[in-house]
Amino acid sequence: MNRATRHCIANAATLLLTGFAFLLLFHASAMAGQLVVEKSILKKDTLWEGQVLVKGDVEVAPGVTLTIMPGTVVRFARIAPNGPAKLTTDRTAHFPRAELIVKGRLLAQGTPDARIIFTSAADDPQPADWGAVNFLNSTDNILEFCEFSYGHTSVHAHGAQMIIANSFFHHNGVAIGMKNVKGAVRCVVAVMYNRITDNGGGVLFGKGSTPTITHNEISNNKFFGIYVKKGGQANIRYNNITDNGKGVLFYAVKGFVLRDNNIARNTDYNISMLEGQEADVDARRNWWGTTDADRINALIRDRSQDKTLGSVDFSGFTKAPVAGAGLPM
């Protein structure tokens, strides 16, 4: 081996060792920079950015704002259900595993290139590894350009007001849930321009909540796309509700109107009335994937299949998919 060859090998070894040392230093720096949040109550305005590990319930106290910066990744440890890392074991408004409980305000505004991620910290993540971003009697919240995965009900409004926009929900038990709670603010939530796919269920609401659900892609959810329960009313327009177990479920709802959506190719039914849904549903002016009225009716469970149920009025259906529904191309 000549001197030039030995010199090249030595230089290469030096570069390799330097690069390896840099990687170790970078990894150590990243680990050192991770914010670890134990079970706690945030009592003053707080900012999260970078890598955040949540190891128990974290409450944003009334009057306090938690701001999460674009590109932040919030991981929830898989804690023992209703164990010592929980702030409460009240099961009426809480979930068994770790939650971000918002009684003040949450501003989580990412960007298209730097989404804010809420997910599991487990090496083998599963739906319901963590509980929820759980809003209780809270107003003026914004969730935009976020991504939610492996939660129980990844965003839940218990008497709260917020905007949920341009976000991605996948592999959760339920993506979004909401209901009014006695003594809390009226639950009003705008759900717009989101991709809600591959969850157990998409959007679930009832008990006097009045969401606006528009321009969403709600697809491939195992059990349902949208589930409307007793007391729920909504403006549900310009959504693609496709390829779910059931498209839209109704239980004990009165005076409901469903307009200008593409509701098609859902496995069991495009619309399914559950036992106790005695009132009719006005579902005119939607696209059902076909112009054959008999085929449309065959994928609707109502009085035509069970005399105890109300009827779905699907007359005036569109002859082609509703233009502009779902996410912008």
Give residue 301's pLDDT.
Answer: 98
Query: Can you give the three-state secondary structure of 166-214, one letter per residue?
Result: CCEEECCCEEEEEECCCCCCCCEEEEECCEEECCCEEEEEECCCCCEEE
pLDDT tens by residue, 1-34: 444 334 433 443 333 333 343 333 333 334 458 9
Give the pLDDT band (50/70/90) at residue 239. Answer: very high
Has residue 94 got a pLDDT over 50? Answer: yes
What's the mean pLDDT in 143-147?
A: 98
- Share of residues in the chain with pLDDT > 90 (%): 83
Give the pLDDT band (50/70/90) at residue 139. Answer: very high
Give residue 201's pLDDT.
Answer: 98
Give residue 313's pLDDT.
Answer: 97
Across the chain, mean pLDDT equals 90
pTM of the full structure: 0.89
Say which residues have a Cβ less than 8 Å from residue 121's Cβ, sequence separation at least 6. Answer: 53, 54, 75, 76, 77, 78, 129
3-state secondary structure of 6: helix
H or E stretch at 102 = strand 100-102
